[in-house]
Each structure stands twice: as C-alpha cells, then as structure tokens.
C-alpha cells in the first residue's frame, strides 16, 4: 500500500507541476528551502550520463521496471522485516515512477529544487522515495547488526 501511495503521489505531482510550469526551466519560488523548477532529465541517475537515442531510453525504462517488479515481488511473496519491506516498497515505487516517465515522455520529470540549501540537483518524489527506501533498509541493517553485537 505504501508503494502504491508513493507512486500515485509521484505521478500526480509531476502532472500538477507540468500543468502549472509548462516549459522546461520555468520556476516558482516558494517560501522555505524548496522551490519548483521544471526539468526534463534525459539522462540516467543524477544526470551523470546523457541518454543518447531511443535504445538507451527504453533500456533505462526496462531496468527501472524490472527493479520495481522484483522488489515488489519480494515484498509480496517473501516479506522481510517491516522496515525492509517498507524500504523495498519505497524503492519499487520510485523506480516505477521514473520508468513511467521515461516510457510516456522520453525523460524523467524533475521539479523539486533545493538550491537554497546548496543542493545542485533537481529531483522528484520518485527520487525521494528511492532515497527514503534505501535509508530505511540501511538503518534496519545497522540496527540489526548492532543488536547482534550486544
């Protein structure tokens, strides 16, 4: 259920921002540390390697979908601890959200701009979901290791 809610929030927020900002580079200054800046990310994670051609675009979408399906399957058929299950659901939702963008639009829609905090990337709810999920999994791992050591 957590993954479904995050995926819905990701897709809704992207469509909302697209309807309001419309063109790449358009921005909306908000009170607080986050502004909205519309960016179409045609590259892979963190914009490190540009995507060149349709084959790369579809390959990235396929990898995202496979990750989402595998992680979703693990949670459904062999659920680990609650924090790990929640973390896997978050990662699966984020992977699926960005895969949907690549399939539908040819790029990932990013809009959360934390430049006021010195953060150089513009990101989206799917990205936050993946980061949150990985954090939950790592925290669970460290806490379990610590409990076994005592």
Residues in the chain: 150
Residue 2: is it exposed, middle or buried by C-beta count within 10 angstroms (0-12/13-18/19+)?
middle
Q: The tokens 């358009």 sit on which residue?
A: 26
Candidate list 110, 113, 131, 140, residue with the active-site label: 110
For residue 101, indicate whether it is catalytic. no
Candidate list 10, 101, 113, 127, residue with the active-site label: 127
For residue 113, indicate whether it is catalytic. no
Strand order in the sheet with 27-28: 27-28, 35-41, 108-113, 122-123
Q: Mark 35-58 as b/e (b = at least 16 C-beta within 10 Å).
A: bbbbbebbeeeebeeebeeeebbe
Q: How far apart are CA 126 and CA 104, in angstroms?
A: 15
Alpha helices per DSSP H over 1-124 = 2-21, 54-77, 82-105
Catalytic machinery residues: 110, 127
């Amino acid at each position: 259920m957590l993954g479904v809610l995050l995926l819905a929030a990701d897709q809704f927020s992207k469509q909302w921002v697209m309807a309001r900002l419309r063109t790449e580079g358009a921005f909306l200054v908000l009170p607080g540390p986050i502004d909205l800046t519309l960016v179409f990310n045609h590259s892979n994670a963190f914009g490190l390697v540009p995507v060149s051609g349709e084959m790369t675009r579809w390959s990235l979408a396929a990898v995202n979908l496979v990750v989402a399906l595998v992680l979703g399957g693990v949670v459904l058929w062999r659920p680990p601890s609650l924090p790990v299950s929640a973390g896997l659901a978050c990662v699966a939702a984020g992977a699926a959200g960005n895969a949907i963008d690549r399939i539908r639009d040819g790029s990932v829609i990013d809009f959360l701009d934390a430049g006021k905090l010195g953060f150089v990337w513009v990101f989206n709810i799917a990205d936050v979901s993946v980061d949150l999920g990985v954090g939950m999994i790592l925290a669970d791992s460290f806490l379990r290791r610590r409990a076994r050591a005592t």
